[in-house]
Structure 1
């Protein structure tokens, strides 16, 4: 594959949320509130001890094969400015990292790469009362010669499990800071796959309910699910271009080994993007099916109403004729006239009812 040597099996970087038992390093306030973890990695292994970001960078630079990985969660402007001053980050990238809610993109500032990814999380819900099924957030990754910074916004898609998985595979960490970028990207795309599978189950349940007689699924529920799928597509789709640039742009400082791993991530991303596009099309078909079902039901109701109105018209007409009270009306003064007329009304209504039932109007 493009002259790339055979690589060891790629480990899974999925992790369980935000759980973390390692104590946080003691660093000056206010930056300490934003830092989740700060570690120095030399030759694929984490150095013992706790470091401030500045101490960690100094330690990493003192080693030929070391780098520092700092993880931050929802930093404010002051906290991010302290980190930017230590690692020499570009002001535009820092601004994006603070604000969040950015479109997925890849930018290069000298030797620093800045990757923005949207994160998604599935929210459990009732298929009959959908309010929100996709919760979104952001993960930004800065990588330089001796550092990797991850900035996370949102309460889901934690990276503690990713860090533990990488620390269990020193061969990956030996590839440098770009190994962190790959691991985070792989973790994010894995979460896309999980959310897409859950949404697919929702669509299957919705489809079954739409075609079930007397179901209570309305067009509003389908539209709500379709809107959530659109939000999912907007979060997932734009990441395709940054991943392709990391794989194919030879001008970017990405090791060939990392490119091979990122190619696998890009393939998974393409697959899940195609599935999400199919979801949108499937829901559009369900909307049309639900509207057609409503139209058929309305036509059935109108036929029933028309049939009952026709049956009611017969006795109404006869009663109206006799209600004119003409002196010489047929059988007007006969004792049996009244029950005969009532019987005639009943017979005519019965014949109409039988005819409507035979034609499946009732």
Structure 2
């Protein structure tokens, strides 16, 4: 109860106890960007509080929190949100622009986190231009009495997550920190699912690359390596923020919630190791493919050289007899022409068997 009153005092201090909150929902300022909003108290969605202004006032008094979900808001809409909740301009700038690195930043009593979302793109046959991993972003403003989620990308919806949380009041009772944990846990779980799907693609391409003429698939290996790097850029930078959330004390993160963040951190480390191993394995497969190209080129050169040597023998004999001197062996005999042909055939046959035995042909 004391923690609730403290959160209410902090929220009231940030708002300055000035004019009443803006009706962001009813005013239409968030039209096109607002996905959903709700007021939660004691871990439950308060359906009786259908007024956004009333919900925000109660949240400022420490009687629960407001969760606002936005999808690709523009700069003006985020500016309005920032003025309402006192968000830092640098955090708002990051939330406006997509393609941010995963991170965790603290602005006074507000936590701002960026998480990369990923999705496995189903495909028939992997080609040199196939998109395997699609990435997006979820930004979370987590403050006393409010949670604001900003999503970029056509996937990574949080509507299903919100519904599942509403069926688990104990998790929502943890407040904004509990919502932040649920989002992080959801994102990391998708990493595991995508990594499993990518593993199947790697197994398939590894099998193909070591078949005869498998080096022809080397462009597909390179494309898959690029897609794995996309997954790596989403997973690897998140380890620092997850470690901080599981160890650093913060008024919004209860001790029990930090224990849950440790579990998320363990899962993240596991998927990071898996993705790093994917990158290393694909590098090895790529090197093996390049080695196969060199071996194939060497085999082709040996075949060409062998046939050149075989054809050089009759060419040499024909060239000598083509000099048309009068005093040359067998030029006046009746069967000289056929004898020379037999000699050419014999030499070619001998050379062919020699190269065949040495596996040049």
- After superposition, what is the alpha-carbon deviation per residue over 1:47-99, rounded to whole angstroms, capped at 9, x for unaligned? 1157465443124345x541111100000011112222222212221111111
Q: Secondary structure at the match of 1:243?
A: helix
- After superposition, what is the alpha-carbon deviation per residue over 1:164-189, rounded to whole angstroms, capped at 9, x for unaligned? 11001011111111111011000110
Question: Hey, what does 1:40 align to over in structure 2?
Answer: 39
- After superposition, what is the alpha-carbon deviation per residue over 1:190-227, rounded to whole angstroms, capped at 9, x for unaligned? 11111111222221111111101123644332222222
Match of 2:103 among 102, 105, 130: 105
> Counterparts of 2:251 and 2:348 in 1: how far apart (Å)?
85
> Counterparts of 1:49 and 1:90 in 2: how far apart (Å)?
32
Quote how far apart the aligned CAs of 1:29 are.
2.2
1:37 touches 1:72 (CA, 8 Å); kept in 2? yes
Quote how far apart the aligned CAs of 1:336 are.
0.9
Alignment map for 1:109-258 (pairs within 5 Å): 109-125=107-123, 126-215=125-214, 217-251=216-250, 253-258=252-257
Question: Hey, what does 2:269 align to over in structure 1?
Answer: 270
> Counterparts of 2:150 and 2:117 in 1: how far apart (Å)?
12
- Gaps of at least 5 residues in structure 2 are 1-23
1:26 touches 1:50 (CA, 8 Å); kept in 2? no
- Gaps of at least 5 residues in structure 1 are 1-24
> How large is the Cα RMSD of the aligned pairs?
1.8
Q: Secondary structure at the match of 1:32?
A: coil
> Counterparts of 2:60 and 2:318 in 1: how far apart (Å)?
105
> Counterparts of 1:313 and 1:100 in 2: how far apart (Å)?
66
1 or 2, which has the higher helix percentage?
A: 2
> Counterparts of 2:273 and 2:51 in 1: how far apart (Å)?
43
TM-score (norm 2): 0.89
2:215 touches 2:289 (CA, 8 Å); kept in 1? no
How many matched pairs?
Answer: 337
Quote how far apart the aligned CAs of 1:228 are.
2.0
Question: Hey, what does 1:22 align to over in structure 2?
Answer: none
Question: Hey, what does 2:316 align to over in structure 1?
Answer: 317
Match of 1:92 among 90, 93, 110: 90
TM-score (norm 1): 0.88
> Counterparts of 2:129 and 2:198 in 1: how far apart (Å)?
12
2:25 touches 2:52 (CA, 8 Å); kept in 1? no
Flag the structure with more relative contact order, 1 or 2, with Cα contacts below 8 A and sequence separation at least 6: 1
Quote how far apart the aligned CAs of 1:286 are.
1.0
1:34 touches 1:73 (CA, 8 Å); kept in 2? yes
Quote how far apart the aligned CAs of 1:28 are.
2.2
